[in-house]
Amino acid sequence: MNILVCVKRVPATGGRVTLTGDGLAIDARFLSFTISPHEECAVEEAVRLVEASGGGTTTVLTLGAEAAADQLRDALAVGMTRAIHLVTDGEDWDPMATAAAIVGVVRADAAEGFDHDLVLFGNEAADSGDYQVPIRVAAALDRPWLTGVKGLDVEGTSVRARRDGTRGQEVYHVPLPAVLAVREGLNRPRYPSIPGRLRAKKVAIMATRPERQVGGPTMIRLRVPDEEDAQVHVLGTGAEAAPAVVDLLESLGLVNP
């Protein structure tokens, strides 16, 4: 079985977000980088499925700046076998342009004998939250798709995929080849091992610079929402604060005295 997983490099912001002076990006000078937890689960699932199927390839793909090669190495370190880098100048691509570039890779891979039975995405990118690249890729390839996937079992030439519905869980039959957008909770991703890191260093990343299609929407600027400055009311320090806490619970009507 061959699986392609698409990931996106994003800054690992902590408690506060600071924007760059031009308001076009998060100021990431002092931040590390990561991928979405949804995508970590997609990577983990691909590694497990190909291991269980007894052979095949796991390819990780990213579209992003030169530095996004780090995120490809991270995926290789936990067991992915091939890596493809669609190198950009670092500008954020809109979802239509991103999907078109990924479709190009799936077609080119197929021409070289890497027919991907599954193309996995995170349900939405951590930063842009566009919720549409997987479906655009599926539509362009005319492949069946499902979003919000939190469990999947391969059964011959199809998968049984579970997701949360409005009234409990829904189970779907999805024939292969297919495109799935998965959510965190699908599995618990492993951490890379030292031998995994060493192996990842040796894999040659296939890098190309794709043509950028015109799409939309076009970002004009970012803004951090103005939050009312919450004046925190410190009830006390340590265990001695307990009576004040219970007074508060009573006054909020959460417990009956």
Binders of other proteins among residues 92 to 151 (CB under 8 A) are 94-96, 99, 124, 126-132, 135-136, 138-140, 144-148
The residue type found at 224 is V
Q: Tell me the backbone φ, ψ of residue 214, rounded to 5 degrees.
A: -80, 135
Residue 58: closest CA among 69, 66, 49? 49
User: What is the nearest approach in angstroms of other proteins to the Cβ of residue 217?
Assistant: 4
Half-sphere exposure of 245 (CA within 13 A, CB side): 7
Residue 100: closest CA among 131, 67, 70, 132? 132
Tokens found for residue 126 = 């951590």
Which listed residue (25, 26, 37, 151) binds ligand FAD by CB under 6 A?
Answer: 37
Q: Which does 96 bind (CB under 5 to 8 A by kind): other proteins, ligand FAD, none?
A: other proteins
* 183 contributes a contact to other proteins by CB under 8 A: yes
Q: Which does 79 bind (CB under 5 to 8 A by kind): other proteins, ligand FAD, none?
A: none
User: What is the nearest approach in angstroms of ligand FAD to the Cβ of residue 244?
Assistant: 17
* 34 contributes a contact to ligand FAD by CB under 6 A: yes
55 CB-contact burial (10 Å; exposed 0-12 / middle 13-18 / buried 19+): exposed
Which listed residue (126, 141, 152, 200) binds ligand FAD by CB under 6 A?
Answer: 126
**Interface with other proteins in residues 190-219 (CB under 8 A):** 215-219
